Amino acid sequence: MTYLETTAKFYSEVAQTPEVGLCCVQSSSLQLPGLKIPCKMQEMNYGCGTTVHPNELANNPTVLYVGVGGGLEALQFAYFSRHQGGVIAVEPVEAMRNVARENLKQATTLNDWFQEEFVEIREGDAFNLPVADESVDLVAQNCLFNIFEPQDLAKALKEVYRVLKPGGKLLMSDPIATQPIPSHLRQDERLRAMCLSGALTYNQYIKHLIDTGFGQVEIRTRRPYRLLDTNSYQLEKPLLLESLDTVSFKVPIADDGACIFTGKTAIYHGDLDHFDDNAGHILTKGVPASVCDKTAAKLNKFSDIYITDSTWHYDGGGCC
């Protein structure tokens, strides 16, 4: 079997017999007022973080969710898009589609506001999304794209870019590796399906997004995910995987490069009331201003500007 066939077989198995704790970060899912999640849906939380960021979900967006899983995040997105077809979930594994439909039907008995037609589940895969060009406001995927080999990841991201409206957003949560994963693990198809051996490094991951054409990327969360130990994985030293939540914007890449926000700030501490670099960045003395990494590098050359480290958490604001 190819690694994609191995992955499909694996998720067909865990659709029929939920494997609690698979992939997920050990924390409760996003809590929203008036939202009740069926127990089986919660057990099938096969993600490594969250893609549901309420600040990005205003104005009743149309959401395309790639890889429906048990339907948890599709239900959460429907909370913000309460109209027929507000959420389109694409899933290649028949068993997973069937279970997600059952879970969503159960959700209607627990939530007065939810109707099954809010979520449309379509057969399809990340490489051939069954939606028209520039037809959705948001695309989301949780702990799926890390499974893809680099050339397949490029195809999937190109498809996402195709279906997003100009200015649209890609919300992703994936494991990344703090060091390159050795080839003997990358070639293990079952570990790859379990989201343990296909992860790219942070720099590789971000480069894929920029190469696709996303002009702005924001890091929402970066935190420990799994530790691959020396004995179980035949490693010389333990290898830490991290969970990375990002929001990427379909906007043009500036002439001087894409804007990557990782939580850096610039603080002016000179003799004047404010600092103006005549390039759109005005800093009030003593007040931190969020800046992208590109701008931080430019401002760092000034002796009276202090640049803070990345917090790996950013949620809007600032300048670029």
Q: Averaged over 127-153, what is the pLDDT?
A: 97
For residue 267, CA distances in Å to 180, 263, 287, 300 come to 34, 13, 6, 10
What the block records as the tokens of 273 is 């009331």
Task: Provide the phi-psi class of 253: left if phi over 0, else alpha when psi is between -120 and 50, else beta.
Answer: beta
**Number of residues in the chain:** 320
* Cα–Cα distance, 282 to 319 (Å, whole number): 9
Task: State the chain's mean pLDDT as an integer.
Answer: 92
- Predicted local confidence at residue 17, as pLDDT: 66
Look at residue 161 and tell me whether its pLDDT is greater than 90. yes
Q: What's the pLDDT band for 10 if we cut at 50, 70, 90?
A: confident
Structural contact between residues 75 and 107, judged by C-beta atoms closer than 8 angstroms: yes
Q: What average pLDDT does the segment 207-228 reach?
A: 97
Q: 141-150, 193-202, 270-279, 311-320 — which is least confidently predicted?
A: 311-320
pLDDT band at 150 (very low <50, low <70, confident <90, very high): very high
Q: Which phi and psi angles does 113 have, rounded to 5°?
A: -80, -20
* Token pair for 125: 């895969």
- Residue 227 and residue 242: Cα distance in Å, rounded? 9
> Max alpha carbon distance in the chain (Å)?
67
Distance, CA of 309 to CA of 17 (rounded, Å):
44
Q: Are 90 and 122 in contact (CB under 8 A)?
A: yes
| DSSP, res 235 | -
In whole angstroms, how large is the CA radius of gyration of the chain?
21
Q: Give the CATH number of domain 3-250; options: 3.30.70.1560, 3.40.50.150, 1.10.420.10, 3.20.20.70.
A: 3.40.50.150
pLDDT tens, 118-137? 999 999 999 999 999 999 99
Q: List, for residues 100-109, the tens digit of each pLDDT value.
A: 999 999 999 9
Angle at 247 between CA 308 and CA 15, to 5 degrees: 130
Specify the DSSP element, H or E, that contains 202: helix 202-212
Which pTM value belongs to this model?
Answer: 0.93
Burial 287-315, CB ≥16 within 10 A → b, else e? eebbbbbbbbebbeeeeebebeebebebe
- Closest to 115 measured CA to CA, from 139, 73, 85: 85
**Amino acid at site 106:** Q
Q: How confident is the model at residue 25 (pLDDT cuts 50, 70, 90)?
A: low
